[in-house]
Amino acid sequence: MLTAIRPAFGLGNRTIRDRTIITAAICKGYWRLDVANEVDHGFWRQFRRTLKSLKPDLYILGEIWHDAMPWLRGDQFDAVMNYPATEAVLQFFAKGEIDAETFSFQINRLLAGYPQQVNEAAFNIVGSHDTPRLLTVAGDERKGMQAALFQFVLPGTPCIYYGDETGMQGGADPDCRRPMVWDPQRQHAQLLEFYRRLVSLRKSHSALQEGSFEWLYARGRQLVVRRTHASGHVYVCFNHDAAPTHLVFDVDPHDSPRPRASTSCRPNLREMRNTKETSLGTSNVPTETIVPLTIGETVITAEYGGVLATRTVRVTAL
């Protein structure tokens, strides 16, 4: 259970503070703390000490819309809702307001502003009960899918706002809080399958869970990201353009010389054929060829031009 708690009047009163914390301790849930910046740090320190003494693995999440380092020093919250990353993702993928280079600078600034352990616990979202829904902002499910793919590639913990995975729409609050659509006939089945595959990819590759993050390419509307872990490298290519694009970027794995990797991306991608050479295309467009990063690597494709390559040989398609 993820429980929300809002600031209460009178928390400066010791009795009220103690009763509030006792009530929270009785629930022993996973706490989301609403507008947490409106409560003093001393209260949250006491809140954490009390609840963690009862349940050490209890998860405490704060709603902070700006830089949250004062709450993330290990004595208050485990994570905060990563709204600065949300805005950057939406500006690039959904709204097209910034180019790839600006987007990479914004993400780098966010990652550099926190210690590694904070970034690894970040609560990454592309929408919430306080913001318009992803597909409403993007106006194009393919753009929304790329935003979701990046959400699962970014260091931290991806959180899916209920209904985004089934194609729910919604404007500003309260329109974004429509009841969940449970009828399968009214759900977007292909989008739901896409999200299931994202979850599967994230769970099956350690590099996507706890690997280092770096940009290999960020120009125009194209991005290349590498996540690196002891178990191997994961490369993710984004062609966020309506036209086919040919990307060439440097790859510098720790165990080999610096080769060149060449990738051709189309706006709608289908499936890979083998680990040496991959043909991609749509029903109405001639196929293009992807040259793998190194021999033996698997190429995994995503809708709207995203390409993900790993050091494993198991073929998986999006």
Catalytic positions: 34, 63
Radius of gyration of the chain (CA): 21
**Contact criterion met (CB below 8 Å) for 133 and 141:** no
Check: CB of residue 133 under 8 Å from CB of residue 161. yes
Q: Is residue 293 a contact partner of residue 262, using CB atoms and an 8 Å limit?
A: no
DSSP symbols for 32-85: EETTGGGS-HHHHHHHHHHHHHH-TT--EEE--SS--GGG-SSSS-SEEB-HHH
Q: Residue 281: phi, psi to the nearest 5?
A: 175, 180
How many residues would you count in the chain? 318
Locate 147 and state its tokens.
């935003």
C-alpha 181/C-alpha 185 separation (Å) is 10
Helix 41-54 with 14-27: angle, nearest 10 deg: 40
What is the spatial distance between Cα 72 and Cα 169, in angstroms, rounded to a whole number? 33
CA distance 238 to 100: 10
What are the residues facing 300 on neighbouring strands?
308
Which string of b and e fits 279-290 if b means at least 16 CB within 10 Å?
ebbeeeeeebeb
